């Protein structure tokens, strides 16, 4: 008799964005003439760069002709893309990553959810709080997280590292030693970044404890300050303790085009086994490569035109971030993020809960953001705005919020 | 201290295609003037149909303009593709499948490897032998399969259902009752298909035993005989016991373009829980949708032009299958498959092992196929040829083999 994986039932419903959607719909129905401005979801809005579009057309034409048609891609990714990554994302920052340490995939969400598979079933994970929910949820499904406590919003076998104003949104070493440490910097949702010295401490800690860091660098392209490392491998010793996740979603507008990669250095060994070989085996057995055309599109991101075009795009979004950050600060809000990331994280005023502020902002300003409590218990009392809107509506949203004060 | 998932270490090396590659390279070096004909791997060679190429260009153009740009896709797939599937792949065969029972993915390899996640960790699986290796390997990684016996090539906790000439390559009900039953028909590698009456028996068996059938119908488009069902849902009661996997790889040439789908009927319940909801949760947590452009390409497969073009393509490959089947039969070989599938399965002559025949065929005819033993212990003494080559080289390969006799 077949039975289900009961760990799936432990997952509490994911109501965050559906509740947001319902509240917005109800407001819009009651206020049909009011233009609602959505700065809630972390999805890009600018079209794909021209260099990428051109590459997509070229690749489609190749697929139309027998001589240049491509069947199954190499499971781990095409050499042309892996070598472009090694050169542009690592060599330029003084980091030596070999082509066979780079694994192309269909997205950082998939990679960050799948990476746990190569670790022992009883591994204890540590996560920042608040955090991108996929790290915890994928471990819930794999049965590692113990029981959920509705009151605290915490799992009994997960180590939480609160990131609040009190510690500058930078996690402290936990009391209990974790096996796997998920770090996402620049952070979603707080927008905080870790200076190299701080990240080096985590690398040293992981090497000392023989823990593995899963470093999610999906927002690396938004870093503007020179002291912030773009890769964890800029820290000494990271190759023996860290896996790094990267994405084309936020730097090149690929959220609907799907491309990402994970770096697993060959020096990273556990129990005498190279994690690189395990991840390769996982890819080879359970994945069949990203589409040829999309890999060509990714390659184009690294061309001279592509680099210029994505810098313009990122500049556009970062200008929005500055408008939000500066405007809210001027209006008296306590604001962080927005300097090395497309996310602005603000303290809700007058002791409102995250959801109270959501309702207030929607009702009074017609502006939609995301309640911080949706990202974890320590997000309560905070609120996330994103820089991915148009510059016009971003400016208008800020003006509306200013008028509230 | 982090530790690895030790189940990964249990997987024996996957040497089949790398051994094939090495032997071919050595032969080619020793015989530089001989043109080797490769009928080994199951990868398509014809370019994408024009309707698909046109859709790819149109979608790329949409991504170039802000007004039509698409960010994150719905995790479960775009409505336009899901409804085209429901209409063309099911309604036309008298099967009623709802749009929210269809889950779009990046490939049937991913789906067939991931589907085990929604089942209990101690589920006992049954597989045909020989079989596509992903079903077993993904369960090995999840720790369900017990220990591997190098002598027999079998796992202690897997139920094997031999498919040999003795039973017409049609599996018999196993002695021990399985929880999950993987069935792939038309079959890779044997090319055998199951008539509706036979498949109905499996559906009745699964419903009686409360087992779940994972029905891999990736080769459905190659079915030519009217008594062969294209979907397991053509059988009565299949919606309460079966999940169905489909792919765009072999019917529309998408092996390097990546698109597939899985059907999980809402009537399929285990432990009072809808598997449909579990699979939706898995998609939503660990996957971020297939690329917009590729989903538009998939939609174009169902257009009038697309249907005409893929029928031509399948006809081309099936003509190759007939050439191989007829030619080998005329040369005195015992041959099966090739009628409802692009695979021809032959008994090795004169008691040769699968690898002995591989070496013989390469040395004497310069033709590459796949040793049947690579697909499981009951594949020993068999050999697979595929219909995916060009018609010219397929015809020449057959002529060369005929001359050996």
d(CA B348, CA B351): 6
- Report pLDDT for A27: 95
d(CA A138, CA A188): 17
Look at A53 and B72 and tell me if their CB atoms are within 8 Å: no
Contact yes or no for A372/A345 (Cβ under 8 A) = yes
Look at B63 and A5 and tell me if their CB atoms are within 8 Å: no
Look at B65 and A71 and tell me if their CB atoms are within 8 Å: no
Report, as an integer, the average pLDDT of A45-67. 98
What ipTM is given for this predicted complex? 0.96
| Short-list B221, B117, B240, B135, CA closest to B183 | B135
Residues in chain B within 8 Å Cβ distance of A110: 286-288
Quick one: closest CA in B to A2, which residue?
A: B179
Report, as an integer, the average pLDDT of A192-215. 98
Q: Which of B5, B47, B211 sits opposite A63 (nearest CB)?
A: B47
- pLDDT confidence band for B75 (50 / 70 / 90): confident
pLDDT digits (tens, 9 = 90+) for A283-325: 999 999 999 999 999 999 999 999 999 999 999 999 999 999 9
d(CA A290, CA A385): 31
Neighbour-count burial of B96, counting CB atoms closer than 10 A to its CB (0-12 exposed, 13-18 middle, 19+ buried): exposed
What is the SS3 assignment for chain B?
A: CCCECCHHHHCCCCCHHHHHHHHHHHHHHHCCCCCCEECCCCCCCCCCCHHHHHHHHHHHHHHCCCCCCCCCCCCCCCHHHHHHHHHHHHHHHCCCCCHHHEEEECCHHHHHHHHHHHECCCCCEEEEECCCCHHHHHHHHCCCCCCEECCCCEECCEEEEECCHHHCCCCCCCCCCCCEEEEECCCCCCCCCCCHHHHHHHHHHHHHHCCEEEEECCCHHHCCCCCCCCCHHHCCCHHHCEEEEEECHHHHCCCCCCCEEEECCCCCEECCEEHHHHHHHHHHHHCCCCCHHHHHHHHHHCCHHHHHHHHHHHHHHHHHHHHHHHHHHHCCCCEEECCCCCEEEEECHHHCCHHHHHHHHHHHHCEECEEHHHHCHHHCCEEEEECCCCHHHHHHHHHHHHHHC
- pLDDT confidence band for B16 (50 / 70 / 90): confident
Quick one: closest CA in B to A70, which residue?
A: B256
Residues in chain B within 8 Å Cβ distance of A66: 45-47
Look at A258 and B289 and tell me if their CB atoms are within 8 Å: yes
Look at B3 and A270 and tell me if their CB atoms are within 8 Å: yes
Look at A141 and B285 and tell me if their CB atoms are within 8 Å: yes
Look at A273 and B9 and tell me if their CB atoms are within 8 Å: yes
pLDDT digits (tens, 9 = 90+) for A59-68: 999 999 999 9
- pLDDT confidence band for A18 (50 / 70 / 90): confident
Quick one: closest CA in A to B69, which residue?
A: A47
- Report pLDDT for B18: 81
Look at B2 and A120 and tell me if their CB atoms are within 8 Å: yes
Q: How does the average pLDDT of chain B come out, rounded?
A: 96
Residue A8 in this model has a pLDDT that exceeds 80: yes
- Cα–chain center distance at B5: 27
d(CA A338, CA A336): 7
How many other CB atoms are there within 10 angstroms of residue B49's CB atom?
25
Quick one: closest CA in A to B260, which residue?
A: A288
Look at B110 and A273 and tell me if their CB atoms are within 8 Å: no
Look at A3 and B271 and tell me if their CB atoms are within 8 Å: yes
Report, as an integer, the average pLDDT of B128-133. 95
| Short-list B224, B195, B197, B173, CA closest to B338 | B224
Percent of chain A with pLDDT over 70: 99
Residue B334 in this model has a pLDDT that exceeds 80: yes
Report, as an integer, the average pLDDT of B66-77. 94
Report, as an integer, the average pLDDT of A359-376. 96
Residue B248 in this model has a pLDDT that exceeds 80: yes
Residues in chain B within 8 Å Cβ distance of A270: 2-4
How many other CB atoms are there within 10 angstroms of residue A55's CB atom?
24
Interface probe, candidates B1, B2, B118, B316, chain A, greatest A C-beta count within 10 A? B2
Contact yes or no for B263/B233 (Cβ under 8 A) = yes
Task: Measure B126 CA to nearest chain A CA, in Å.
Answer: 12
Q: Which of B5, B65, B288 sits opposite A117 (nearest CB)?
A: B5
- Report pLDDT for B183: 98
Q: How does the average pLDDT of chain A come out, rounded?
A: 96
Percent of chain B with pLDDT over 70: 99
Task: Measure A5 CA to nearest chain B CA, in Å.
Answer: 4
pLDDT digits (tens, 9 = 90+) for A79-130: 999 999 999 999 999 999 999 999 999 999 999 999 999 999 999 999 999 9
Q: Give the global pTM.
A: 0.97
Look at A63 and B109 and tell me if their CB atoms are within 8 Å: no
Contact yes or no for A328/A191 (Cβ under 8 A) = no
d(CA A208, CA A204): 6
- Report pLDDT for B83: 98
Q: Which of A44, A109, A123 sits opposite B2 (nearest CB)?
A: A123
d(CA B191, CA A337): 58
Report, as an integer, the average pLDDT of A28-34. 94
d(CA A289, CA B107): 9
- Report pLDDT for A371: 96
How many other CB atoms are there within 10 angstroms of residue A6's CB atom?
12
Q: Which of B1, B273, B294 sits opposite A291 (nearest CB)?
A: B294
Report, as an integer, the average pLDDT of B224-249. 98
Residue B370 in this model has a pLDDT that exceeds 90: yes
Q: Which of A3, A63, A119 sits opposite B270 (nearest CB)?
A: A3
- pLDDT confidence band for A250 (50 / 70 / 90): very high
Report, as an integer, the average pLDDT of A230-235. 98
Report, as an integer, the average pLDDT of B308-324. 98
Percent of chain A with pLDDT over 90: 95
Quick one: closest CA in B to A250, which residue?
A: B71
- Report pLDDT for B41: 80
């Amino acid at each position: 008799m077949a039975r289900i994986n009961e760990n799936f039932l432990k997952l509490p419903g994911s109501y965050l964005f559906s509740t947001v959607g319902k509240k917005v719909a109800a407001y819009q129905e009651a206020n049909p003439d009011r233009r609602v401005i959505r700065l809630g979801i972390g999805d890009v809005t600018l079209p794909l760069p021209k260099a990428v579009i051109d590459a997509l057309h070229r690749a489609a034409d190749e697929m139309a002709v027998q001589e240049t048609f491509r069947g199954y891609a190499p499971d781990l990714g095409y050499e042309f893309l892996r070598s472009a990554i090694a050169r542009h994302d690592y060599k330029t920052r003084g980091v030596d990553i070999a082509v066979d340490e780079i694994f192309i995939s269909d997205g950082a969400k998939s990679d960050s959810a799948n990476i746990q598979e190569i670790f022992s079933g009883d591994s204890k994970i540590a996560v920042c709080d608040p955090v991108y929910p996929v790290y915890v949820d994928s471990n819930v499904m794999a049965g590692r997280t113990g029981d959920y406590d509705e009151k605290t919003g915490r799992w009994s076998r997960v180590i939480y590292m609160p990131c609040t104003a009190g510690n500058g949104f930078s996690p402290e070493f936990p009391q209990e030693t974790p096996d796997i440490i998920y770090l996402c910097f620049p952070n979603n949702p707080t927008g905080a970044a870790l200076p190299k010295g701080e990240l080096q401490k985590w690398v040293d800690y992981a090497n000392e404890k023989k823990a593995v860091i899963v470093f999610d660098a999906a927002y690396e392209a938004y870093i503007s300050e020179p002291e912030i490392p773009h890769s964890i491998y800029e820290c000494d010793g990271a190759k023996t303790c860290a896996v790094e996740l990267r994405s084309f979603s936020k730097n090149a507008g690929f959220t609907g085009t799907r491309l990402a990669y994970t770096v697993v250095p060959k020096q990273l060994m556990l129990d005498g086994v190279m994690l690189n070989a395990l991840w390769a085996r996982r890819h080879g057995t359970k994945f069949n490569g990203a589409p040829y055309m999309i890999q060509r599109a990714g390659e184009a991101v690294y061309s001279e035109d592509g680099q210029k075009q994505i810098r313009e795009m990122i500049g556009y979004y970062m200008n929005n971030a500055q408008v939000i950050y500066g405007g809210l600060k001027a209006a008296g809000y306590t604001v962080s993020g927005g300097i090395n990331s497309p996310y602005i994280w603000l303290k809700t005023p007058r002791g409102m809960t995250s959801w109270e502020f959501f309702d207030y902002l929607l009702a009074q300003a017609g502006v939609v953001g995301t309640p911080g409590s949706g990202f974890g218990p320590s997000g309560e009392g905070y609120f996330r705005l994103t820089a991915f809107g148009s510059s016009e509506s971003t400016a208008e949203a800020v003006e509306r919020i200013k008028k509230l004060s």
